[in-house]
């Protein structure tokens, strides 16, 4: 479904500017450190982090999207290590200073538990994790995200998912998004930025 959607898009489906959570919170980047962007689509977040001086690895299921991610970085004179990979095929034993999970709400509660455990594993002790997505208020707006309420995040879901981590930011808010043609309009968003215990 995603490959077809990207292939049918005229240009970058979610644009080439980073997600608002990174643009609004540039302190999340750790220049000189390593970053993993999971299910990163066409690379808007990976390319931005590389531009901040991070060594960026990314993966996504869609070959078309990953091709665009490589092109985006190259156009900016940057390098990202972008892979075509499904979530299940990724090597989760690899550790990073920063792990970014932006709009990965393609799973319900059961798989989400497993996915959160994978994100935790990929974050090095003391490293930082960013999870960004929609809250249940987003359902039915038609401005982005899946239709399933169960896939949405609340503060409780994010806090419980990373219990014991030091929370640097946990915010639920409204924001106008203009990310390509994929996410356009007022959106109900939530961010967790947290540090893994040493």
Collect all residues with Cβ–Cβ distance below 8 Å to 111 and sequence separation of at least 6.
none
**Burial letters 53-68, b for 16+ CB under 10 A, else e:** ebebbbbbbbebbbeb
CA atoms within 13 A on the CB side of 71: 11
Beta strands in the chain (DSSP E): 34-38, 55-60, 80-84, 96-102, 123-134, 166-179, 183-195
Q: Considering the rule CB under 6 A, would residue 116 count as an interface residue with ligand SAM?
A: no
Kindly indicate which of the ranges 36-44, 74-82, 118-126, 168-176 contains the residues binding ligand SAM, using the contact rule CB under 6 A: 36-44
State the nearest-atom distance from the C-beta of 75 to ligand SAM, in Å.
17
Least distance in angstroms from the C-beta of 181 to ligand SAM: 12
SS3 for 146? Answer: coil
Per CB under 6 A, does 45 bind ligand SAM? yes
Q: 48 vs 165, which CB is nearer to ligand SAM?
A: 48
Residue number, 110 or 198, with CB nearest to ligand SAM? 110
Which residue's CB is nearer to ligand SAM, number 102 or number 157? 102
87 sits near ligand SAM (criterion: CB under 6 A): yes
The correct pick among 29, 34, 40, 135 for binding ligand SAM (CB under 6 A) is 40
């Amino acid at each position: 479904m995603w490959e077809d959607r990207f292939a049918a898009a005229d240009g970058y489906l979610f644009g080439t500017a980073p997600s608002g959570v990174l643009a609004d919170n540039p302190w999340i980047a750790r220049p000189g450190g390593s970053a993993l962007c999971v299910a990163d689509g066409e690379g808007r977040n990976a390319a931005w982090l590389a531009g901040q001086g991070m060594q960026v690895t990314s993966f996504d299921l869609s070959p078309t999207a990953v091709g665009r991610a490589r092109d985006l970085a190259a156009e900016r004179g940057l390098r990202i290590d972008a892979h075509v990979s499904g979530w299940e095929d990724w090597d989760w034993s690899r550790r990073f200073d920063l792990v970014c999970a932006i709009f990965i709400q393609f799973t319900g509660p059961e798989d989400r538990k497993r996915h959160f455990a994978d994100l935790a594993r990929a974050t090095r002790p003391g490293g930082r994790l960013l999870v960004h997505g929609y809250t249940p208020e987003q359902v039915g707006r038609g401005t982005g995200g899946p239709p399933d309420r169960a896939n949405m995040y609340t503060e409780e879901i994010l806090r419980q998912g990373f219990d014991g981590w030091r929370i640097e930011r946990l915010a639920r808010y409204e924001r106008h998004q203009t990310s390509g043609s994929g996410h356009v309009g007022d959106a109900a968003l939530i961010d967790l930025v947290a540090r893994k215990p040493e």
